[in-house]
Copies of this chain bind each other. A is one copy, B any other.
């Protein structure tokens, strides 16, 4: 019996559509090789372009499609020069995270070739960890506030709830259990200063008791930033608050080649959105020079997450094909000092992937 997966495709803004198109090509290329699995690809509009057309960056029809979908594949959203009247950027990914309760921002960090890292003495395999970022609250909780520029002060609230903390810590421990690494989850907090972090740590420690096979440890966020540049090989799974996760995941991406190499999955209990960690890079949009690796790795994460034997097999083949291409440091797009176009590097991946399926 064929299982049909309803996948919503949201190209978005800037380079979003062109990298997303390439991942769609990979999905189409693998389709004939998969038994009893059918992808139903459902394109919808979202982002600044949509905001300028209809006044809504995330139209109800798009949102409804996401709710009904098995997974969402998203390119990139936002443009630095188009903002809401309150001065903030148009970032409907934040709305998606909140409205779909995508509490776990899962950001794998993996080094494919020593040339890709700015760090001395690190090769593939030794930088390989996952950062799980809480994505529905923390310091982003009060993001709807509007600043009064004439006031004497402006405030935002950092909010940690028991329920959100429990589920994101649980996801982190489950992630460590599935990985074949150090079986360790590191909570990144600031419990030496902030009461909300004392609370977060308390809940983390409670959840840890349900995972006796996984080591649980704590590191302060400032120390974590230092450890990431001095001994990134020590980390397996990290879990942290929304704002801390935002900062540390970009830092971590910088260690393995930059945002063009950093995939992400925003995971909830009933929905999930997969997208590259990079932005819409309007300066290079439309030239087919954008790096699609993060997009393709996100696609592999989605296939894994769909959790069908055949999609898992496809994820495996796609990941292996990417690793294979990236094992040659000349096979890179311009952001990584290479000469391949968005399409060319995808062709190479498609070729290797198909041979494995």
Contact = CB atoms under 8 A, between A and B. Distances in A.
Q: How large is the interface on A (under 10, 10 to 19, 20 to 34, 35 or more residues)?
A: 35 or more
Interface string A136-148: 0001101101111
Contacts of A357: none
A259 to B, nearest CB: 7
A230 B153 contact: no
B258 A155 contact: no
A55 interface: no
A154 B195 contact: yes
A143 B197 CA distance: 10
Interface stretch (A28-36, A243-251, A267-275, A286-294): A243-251
Given A91-B192, A192-B88, A225 B247 contact: yes
B229 A193 contact: no
Nearest to A246: B222
A94 interface: yes
A154 B157 CA distance: 10
Contact of A152 (B162, B196, B228): B162
A334 interface: no
Contacts of A194: 139-140, 142-143, 156
A71 to B, nearest CB: 25
A87 B192 CA distance: 8
A243 to B, nearest CB: 7
A284 interface: no
B254 A226 contact: yes
Contact of A198 (B119, B147, B190, B202): B147
A253 interface: yes
30 contacts: A86-B198, A88-B191, A88-B192, A88-B195, A89-B192, A91-B192, A91-B193, A118-B119, A118-B120, A119-B120, A119-B229, A120-B120, A139-B194, A142-B194, A149-B198, A149-B199, A151-B162, A153-B162, A153-B199, A154-B198, A155-B157, A157-B158, A158-B158, A190-B246, A222-B249, A225-B225, A225-B248, A226-B258, A229-B251, A229-B255
